[in-house]
Structure 1
Amino acid sequence: MLNINHQKFKELDQLSQQKVPFFFIIDFLMENVLIFNQKDLSEKKILVDFPHFKNMEKQNFIPKEILWKALPQSKEEYKKGFDIVQEHLKRGDSYLVNFTCETPVETNLSLEEIFYHSKAKYKVLIPNQLTFFSPETFVEILDQKIYTHPMKGTIDAAKENAKELLKNDVKEKAEHYTVVDLLRNDLSMIADEVHLDEFQRIDFLKTRNKNLYAMSSEISGNVKPEFQGKVGSLLQKILPAGSILGAPKPKTLEIILESEKHQRGFYTGIAGYFDGKNLDSCVMIRYIENKNSLYLKEKPNWVFKSGGGITHLSRLEDEYQEMKNKIYVPIH
C-alpha cells in the first residue's frame, strides 16, 4: 500500500552516519522526504523554530485586528466518514482510528505572520505552501537514549473540572491507553529497555478563541545497536506516527484512506532536526496549507487540517466538535 521513498531514507542514514547536521520533513505516507542543510533552508527561505534549532529572528506582535473564520464541513458530511470508521471498529478491524478533515479558513494573516506570532513548541514555515505550530514531539534521541511523547485526548479548558474530566473520561482514557501501548510497541522495535516514564500528563494549550487541555505521556528506551547513527532506518521502522494513525497500524491505515476525503500530504507527517549527534522531531499537526501553492498568481486557498481519535465509544457530536475545536492559531 505504501510507496515508501527508500532512497531518501537511505540518504538520511548516510548523513547521520557522517554526523552531518540536517533538517527534514517526511509526509504522512512516507512518499515525500525533503532534506535540507543550512544553505538549503536559507536559499528556500524555509524557517524553523524548534527548541534546540532556530533560523529565524524574533518579530514584533501583529499590529492589527486578527480576522479568523473557519468554514467546517457540515455534521452530516462529517458523519459519512465517521460512519465508515465506526463500521470498521464494530467489525474489530481497528481499536482506534485517527480521523481527520480539511477545513477552508479565511484570514487576514499571511503564512509568515501565522508562523512568527504563533506560540508552540515546534514551528515551520515553507513560504507560500504551509506552516504548522505543533505541540507534539514525535521522537527525541539524546546520547542514544530515545524518547517519545504520544499526545492523545483534548478537552475545552473552560469546562468545570476540565483536567479531571479529561483524565477520567472513559473514551479519552481508552484512546490514550491504546496510543501509549502502540508507541511502546513501536519503540520496542528500535530500542531496548523500553518503559513508561510519565503517564497522562495534562498540558495547557492557549488560543485566541478556545483554550484546550491535552493529555500526553512519555516513553523511553535505549536505541538498539543496529539503529544507532541511522536516522533514516530508525524513522522508517516506526512511521507513520502511531498517535495520528491508530491501531493496529496496517489495517487502520486502510480505513483512513477509505474514510478521509482529503489527501493528508505533509499533514500528520513528521519534521525533525539532526545536529550531528542528537535528533529532535515532531508530528506535523495544527497545520495550515495553501492549496494554490503551485499557482503563484492565484489567490491563496487556505485549508486547516485537524481531527481526532475515534473509538467504538465515540459520539458523533463530540468528535465533530473536537475536530472544530482544533482549528485555531495560538496567537495571544
Structure 2
Amino acid sequence: MNVNLKLNEYLTAVKDQPKPLIIPLCAELPLPDISPLDIYTGTRNGCGFLLESMEGSEKIARYSYIGIDPEFVVTIGKTVDVRGNERFTAIAKEPEGETPVDKIKSILSRFCYVNVKAPRFFGGMVGYFAYDCVYSLFEKVREGHNGIQQTAGNRASEDHDASFMLTKDCIVFDHAEKKLFIFSSPFLTYDSNLTEEYEQSIAKIRALSDRIAHLASGKNASETPKKASGKTPEYIPSVSQEAFERSVERVKEHIVAGDIFQAVISRRMVCAVKNDPFAIYAALREINPSPYMYYLDFGDEQVIGASPEMLVRVEKRRVTTVPIAGTRPRGRDAREDAQLTRDLLEDPKERAEHTMLVDLARNDIGRVCRFGSVEVGEFMGIEKFSHVQHIVSTVNGTLRDNLDCYDAFRSCFPAGTVSGAPKIRAMQIIGEEETQNRGLYAGAVGYIGFDRNLEFAIAIRTVIVKNGMASVQVGAGIVADSVPSNEWKETESKASAMLRAIERAGVSS
C-alpha cells in the first residue's frame, strides 16, 4: 500500500514545526464498488459522521466524507462541554471568544498543520451552527426592533448553539476522479515519538483499507438498520394552522409597510422514536437524494439531513455561495421536463425572487472579499434533481488578505433563503413571530478543515433526534402576494420527505 509520505519525507516535513501538529497521511485507492453508506454502516462505532453527495453537479457534489471515532465532541450552549480523548480535550478546553463561531475558531486554531495536497477536507471539525447563533452574532437581532422583545431570542433552550466533532481520520470519496482516499493524521506534541506516531497512522490506514475491501466483497458486512415495529407517528405541532396563517398576515403587513421584501416563517413538528436514528437517514437518502446528505452522531443527539443548498464554501481563499430559488417538479418525459424548465425560467415572480437572493449573496460575499473580485459565475442556470428542478446561480469572490474563513461564514450566515430580506429586519420579525427557538433549523451543517477550508450547507430538510424525540422544522417564504393557506400547504410539502423517512424507519408504539 502506497501512502503520500514515506517515513523519511514525513520526518523532514515535521522537523522544527510548531506543536501540537497535524500532518495528513493518506492512501489513494480506486473507488470501490460500494457506497459511502455501506462503508459507514460497516465501520461506525459510536460518534461519527457521514457527509454524502447524492445528486448535483461537480461544483457542489464531488466529494463524500466518512468519519469514525472522533477525538472529541464539543457542544456550545450556555456552557462549553468538551468530551473525548484527553490528549485532545486538554487542548480544546476553555475556548476564547464571545460567539459560538469565535469559540470554534479558538479551538481549531490551537492545532497547527502541515500543508499537503489533499481533497477539500481531510480532517478537522464537522458539525453545525444553529440558527440561534444569530442572537450572539447580531446585536440588532438580539435587542429586537424598537425594544420589542424577541420570544425566540430570550427563551431558555436546551438546544445547542453549536456542536462539532474533531476528527483526524477520514475516508473521502472523490466521485469525479473515481478515487478513494483514506486519511489518518499523526497528532504530534513536543514529547511525541515521531516514528511511533507515523507507524500507528499507517496501521490505521491499512486496517480501514482492509475493512473496506471486506465490505466491498460482501464479507462481514453490517446490515443497514431495519425498520422497527410501530404505528404511524403522532406529531405534536409547535403552532396551529390558524396561528401560522395569522403570522403570515402580520408578515405581509410588514411588507406593505416597507419594512421587508420577504421573511421566512417556520413551524416545528415533533414525534417519539425508538429505533436507530441511522435508519431514518437510510430511508431519507432513498426518498430525497440531495447534494448535501448528512448524518452526524454526537452520541446524545443525531442530525439527519438532505439539504439541496450550499450556504458557503471557502477553498484556498476563494469564497463561493450558490443561491437556489425557484422550483418546478421534473416532467414525466423529456418534452414535459423541458416545458416545466421554460415555465420556471419565464415566471416573473420566480425570476424576481431569485434575482433578489443573488443580489443578497453578492452583498454578503462582497463584505469580506477583495474589491472587484466578486462575480456571478453562473446566473439562472437550471439544476435538475430526481424529483425537482431549481434555478441556481453561483457567486464567487476572493477573500481579503486580512480576513479568514470564519469571517466569510459570518458574512453569509444565516442564508437569505431561510431568513429574508433585508436580513436583519427579517430576523427581527422572525423573532417576534415564532414562538420558540429555531435551534438547528436554518442554521448550517458542514466542516472546517485543519487547513481552514470550510463548506456548509443550509440546515433544511433536516431531522434532529434527541432524548427519544424526532423534530422536523419547515418554513415558507412570505412575500406581498402570499396566500396564507398556500404557505401552510408549502410547509406540509417540504416536511413530507422527512416525515416519510421517519415513518419508513419505524416509530414508537
Distance in 1 between residues matched to 2:254 and 2:280, nearest whole Å = 37
Distance in 2 between residues matched to 1:120 and 1:201, nearest whole Å = 17
Partner of 2:344 in structure 1? 166
Matched, 1:280 2:455: yes
Matched, 1:213 2:392: no
Code of the residue aligned with 1:27 in structure 2: it is A
Q: Deviations over 1:103-140 (max 9, x none)?
A: 34588864211223413322133354432221211111
Distance in 2 between residues matched to 1:5 and 1:242, nearest whole Å = 24
Code of the residue aligned with 1:284 in structure 2: it is A
Task: Tell me which of the two structures has the higher relative contact order, counting C-alpha pairs closer than 8 angstroms and 6 or more residues apart.
Answer: 1
Code of the residue aligned with 2:461 in structure 1: it is R
Code of the residue aligned with 1:91 in structure 2: it is A
Matched, 1:133 2:301: no
C-alpha displacement of 1:242: 2.0
Distance in 2 between residues matched to 1:202 and 1:188, nearest whole Å = 24
Q: Deviations over 1:135-166 (max 9, x none)?
A: 21111122211110112233344696332333
C-alpha displacement of 1:220: 0.4
Distance in 1 between residues matched to 2:306 and 2:458, nearest whole Å = 10
Matched, 1:27 2:123: no
CA contact (8 A) 2:295 2:302 kept: no
Matched, 1:318 2:489: no
Change (3 A) 1:213 1:69: farther
The SS at the match of 1:84 is helix
**The one of 131, 138, 144 aligned to 2:317:** 144
Distance in 1 between residues matched to 2:388 and 2:244, nearest whole Å = 22
Partner of 1:37 in structure 2? 166
Distance in 1 between residues matched to 2:381 and 2:277, nearest whole Å = 31
CA contact (8 A) 1:196 1:220 kept: yes
Change (3 A) 1:170 1:317: farther
C-alpha displacement of 1:5: 4.2
Distance in 1 between residues matched to 2:162 and 2:359, nearest whole Å = 27
C-alpha displacement of 1:266: 1.1
Change (3 A) 1:7 1:262: closer
Change (3 A) 1:101 1:141: same
The SS at the match of 1:312 is coil
Distance in 1 between residues matched to 2:173 and 2:259, nearest whole Å = 39
**The one of 309, 328, 333 aligned to 1:155:** 328
Change (3 A) 1:63 1:275: same
C-alpha displacement of 1:48: 11
CA contact (8 A) 1:115 1:125 kept: no
C-alpha displacement of 1:301: 3.0
Partner of 2:464 in structure 1? 289
C-alpha displacement of 1:8: 4.5
Superposition pairs of residues 26-175 of structure 1, within 5 angstroms: 26-30=129-133, 32-38=161-167, 75-104=241-270, 110-117=276-283, 118=285, 119-122=289-292, 123-126=294-297, 127=299, 128-157=301-330, 161-175=339-353
C-alpha displacement of 1:91: 0.7
CA contact (8 A) 2:365 2:411 kept: no
Distance in 1 between residues matched to 2:438 and 2:399, nearest whole Å = 30
CA contact (8 A) 2:311 2:412 kept: no
Partner of 2:364 in structure 1? 186
CA contact (8 A) 1:124 1:133 kept: no
Change (3 A) 1:89 1:188: same
Percent identical residues: 24
CA contact (8 A) 1:310 1:319 kept: yes
CA contact (8 A) 1:10 1:233 kept: no
CA contact (8 A) 1:267 1:285 kept: yes
CA contact (8 A) 1:186 1:238 kept: yes
Alpha carbon RMSD of aligned pairs, Å? 3.8
TM-score (norm 2): 0.53
C-alpha displacement of 1:61: 6.0
CA contact (8 A) 2:130 2:162 kept: yes
TM-score (norm 1): 0.78
Report which stretch shifted further, 174-183 or 53-62: 53-62
Code of the residue aligned with 2:340 in structure 1: it is A
Change (3 A) 1:244 1:68: farther
The SS at the match of 1:29 is helix
C-alpha displacement of 1:62: 6.5
Distance in 2 between residues matched to 1:70 and 1:173, nearest whole Å = 38
C-alpha displacement of 1:37: 0.9
Code of the residue aligned with 2:360 in structure 1: it is L
C-alpha displacement of 1:205: 4.2
Distance in 2 between residues matched to 1:306 and 1:279, nearest whole Å = 25
Change (3 A) 1:54 1:246: farther
Report which stretch shifted further, 254-263 or 72-81: 72-81
C-alpha displacement of 1:64: 5.6
CA contact (8 A) 1:68 1:105 kept: no
The SS at the match of 1:225 is coil
Change (3 A) 1:81 1:194: same
**Alignment: residue pair count:** 312
Distance in 2 between residues matched to 1:164 and 1:108, nearest whole Å = 45
Code of the residue aligned with 1:212 in structure 2: it is V
Code of the residue aligned with 2:355 in structure 1: it is Y
C-alpha displacement of 1:185: 0.2
Q: For the pair shown, which has the larger CA radius of gyration, 1 or 2?
A: 2
C-alpha displacement of 1:74: 5.5
C-alpha displacement of 1:315: 2.6
Matched, 1:252 2:252: no
**The one of 465, 475, 481 aligned to 1:307:** 475
Distance in 1 between residues matched to 2:182 and 2:324, nearest whole Å = 24
Partner of 2:416 in structure 1? 242
Gaps of 5+ in 2: 1-77, 79-96, 114-122, 137-160, 184-207, 216-221, 505-509
